[in-house]
Amino acid sequence: MWLFISKRIRTWVLLTVAVPLTRMAVHRLAEAADRHNESARTARALHKADSAMTVVYEHTSRRKARR
């Protein structure tokens, strides 16, 4: 079924549904890892991923707002 949806709609679904859900999940995992052991390598990696996803999300939000 995914093949029958146009490329523009697939991109829209990814940007409006999948990216925010993934960002929320990574943020929660980073917070949980931080509570468990904030000096662990996993906690640092999750915080870096959370920061990167936040930057990307804010960048796309600003781009949408300009249009």
pLDDT of residue 25: 93
- DSSP class of residue 40 equals S
Q: How confident is the model at residue 9 (pLDDT cuts 50, 70, 90)?
A: confident
Residue 23, phi then psi, degrees to nearest 5: -60, -45
Residue 63 has pLDDT above 80, yes or no: no
Q: Is 22 exposed, middle or buried (0-12, 13-18, 19+ CB in 10 A)?
A: middle
Total-model pTM: 0.65
Give residue-wise pLDDT tens across range 20-39.
898 899 999 988 988 888 78
Residues of 44-67 as b/e, b for ≥16 C-beta within 10 angstroms?
eebbebbeebeeeeeeeeeeeeee
Average pLDDT over residues 7-32: 86
> Are 19 and 56 a contacting pair, CB within 8 Å?
yes
